[in-house]
Amino acid sequence: MTARPSFYVTTAIPYANGAPHIGHAYERIATDAIARFKRLDGFDVLFVTGMDEHGQKMQQTAARDGITPQALADRTAEQFARMGDVLNARADDIVRTTQPRHAKASQAIWQKMVERGDIYLSKYPGWYSVRDEAFFDESELKSGPNGTKLAPTGAPVEWVEEESYYFRLSAYQDKLLAYYKANPDFIVPETYKREVIAFVERGLTDLSISRSTFNWGVPVPGDERHVMYVWVDALTNYLTATGYPDMTTERAKFWPADAHVIGKDITRFHAIFWPAFLMSAELPIPKQIVVHGFLFNRGEKMSKSVGNVIDPFTLAEHYGVDPLRYFFLREVPFGQDGNYSHEAIVNRMNADLANDLGNLAQRSLSMIAKNCGGQVPDFGALTDADKAILADAYALPDKARAAMKDYALHHALAEIWRVVADANRYFASEEPWIKRKTDEARMANILAVTAEVLRNIAIMTQPFIPDASGKLLDLLAVAGDARSFAQVSEAHRLTPGTALPPTAPIFPRYVEAEEGAAKPAKA
């Protein structure tokens, strides 16, 4: 038995300082869809997310709430775990940076970089506020009386030099540029690759990678006065999941990761720092950094002052998980920023899900129930129209793979819905309700073809709207082990005579509530 190819995909790791928001939900859903897609396409998939639980802000927030940093981390981790469950986007593993396995991995990669001569002790100079216990950039400072400088908080700052370990990032400038050139798909979409290259070409300076002004972090090996700063700590999380530094575990085969799915704000860390660390540690570099955009509520960034903050739980409950997943993945061109609004969500879920796909299933399956004894009808001799629509359905895996290769999830869905639309046209032009009176055998054939097209469509929609797709496959009596992309072919078509369960609507229409009722996306 040949081993299935492996595929390792991750989300970024949210900072455990606050509750999940729409952006986290979007990233989790998209990554889940990618993971499901690869799984259905025969890959051995590892889907990992994590939590970034260290750092000064964690200490500060915890202190404000009167709890320990670990308690804050636990609380937030629980919220994110629940989000994953609610969105039907549960990961295989959640690596928390406070876990012992992660400290082990972080210290191992650190040690390796030390051995390679890429880490050295120096001074980290900057404007420091004792009251805030934080460094501030020159540009952040306000000028106080008598030409003194003040922190944004108004606290006085002083020029200090903190001892810090540095990573020799400057030594990797040329190596990184060479790597980008040799691996043109390393950063997608293209626009972010250009930004990264431009950044690196401007020149890299060494990176401060430890702190001694706080202690909530992974201790630096051999120097307990320091903890690792966010860079090494957070990024190593991806490695931790594979069992590093133990290269003999079952998980080890998943490194290097195939795709790190991240938001555009952290591109630099993943596309520059991370590969440099890995080069230093002589570890393979991830295949791709997949960058997605931000979501805006009616063109505006979510903010408490605008009053348009909506949490993902509310949205999922109001519209349903699959409609929400479908909307995000279909409406937003992956990689670009997107907008959401109550109207846009309702339009998508009603037009695409309820009307196009849901109604096609309903109208065809109910005819089968009423006129064909509730069994898959005979296909008969296929007409050209039958063959055409079936061929379109069977071509979907290739079309979807092509789109997913570039992480164009919205294109994959567009291809699938093109067939949904064609199937509606097919159904309308074949008029099985007329044939019922004039040519019952032909009616049966039309319904069989339509059901078969639905089978293939439902298999293909599983990554994006898993729950509803599963229900549709149930209605078609497709066995649980016959739902992979490999089964999207004529060889696996529905068997005439198979009894079908009673039909039931899969995609409910969204009906507007009374005026004044709450509309989450409108806030």
Partner RNA sequence: GGCGGAGUAGCUCAGCUGGCUAGAGCAGAGGAAUCAUAAUCCUUGUGUCGGGGGUUCGAGUCCCUCCUUCGCUACCA
Interface residues with RNA (CB under 7 A)?
A: 14-15, 17, 52, 55-57, 135-137, 169, 191, 194-195, 198-199, 202-209, 229-231, 234, 264-266, 268-269, 333, 336, 347, 351, 354-356, 358-359, 361-364, 366-367, 421, 424-425, 427-429, 431-434, 505-509
425-451 in b/e form (b: 16+ CB < 10 A) is: ebbeebebeebbeeeeebbbbbbbbbb
Would you say 41 or 52 has its CB closer to RNA? Answer: 52
Rounded to a whole number of angstroms, the minimum distance from the CB of residue 6 to RNA is 27
Would you say 7 or 464 has its CB closer to RNA? Answer: 464
Would you say 230 or 239 has its CB closer to RNA? Answer: 230
- Alpha-carbon distance of 108 to 110, in angstroms, equals 5
Would you say 424 or 445 has its CB closer to RNA? Answer: 424
Rounded to a whole number of angstroms, the minimum distance from the CB of residue 450 to RNA is 9
Would you say 258 or 430 has its CB closer to RNA? Answer: 430
Would you say 41 or 430 has its CB closer to RNA? Answer: 430
**Contact yes or no for 46/241 (Cβ under 8 A):** yes
Rounded to a whole number of angstroms, the minimum distance from the CB of residue 264 to RNA is 7
Closest alpha carbon to 35 in 292, 313, 260: 260
- Alpha-carbon distance of 269 to 266, in angstroms, equals 6
Rounded to a whole number of angstroms, the minimum distance from the CB of residue 368 to RNA is 9
Place of tokens 């997943």: 325
Rounded to a whole number of angstroms, the minimum distance from the CB of residue 479 to RNA is 22
Rounded to a whole number of angstroms, the minimum distance from the CB of residue 170 to RNA is 7
Closest alpha carbon to 31 in 285, 512, 407: 407
The one-letter code for the residue type at 48 is V
Residue 467 is encoded by which pair of tokens?
């729950």
**Contact yes or no for 46/6 (Cβ under 8 A):** yes
Would you say 264 or 401 has its CB closer to RNA? Answer: 264
Would you say 6 or 355 has its CB closer to RNA? Answer: 355
Residue 129's H or E segment, with its range, is strand 119-129
- Alpha-carbon distance of 10 to 512, in angstroms, equals 37
Work out the number of other CB atoms within 10 angstroms of the CB of residue 522.
13
- Alpha-carbon distance of 453 to 451, in angstroms, equals 5
Rounded to a whole number of angstroms, the minimum distance from the CB of residue 321 to RNA is 16
Would you say 218 or 506 has its CB closer to RNA? Answer: 506
Helix axes 22-40, 69-86, angle to 10 degrees: 50
**Residue 131 class from Cβ within 10 Å (0-12 exposed, 13-18 middle, 19+ buried)?**
exposed
Rounded to a whole number of angstroms, the minimum distance from the CB of residue 166 to RNA is 8
Rounded to a whole number of angstroms, the minimum distance from the CB of residue 52 to RNA is 5
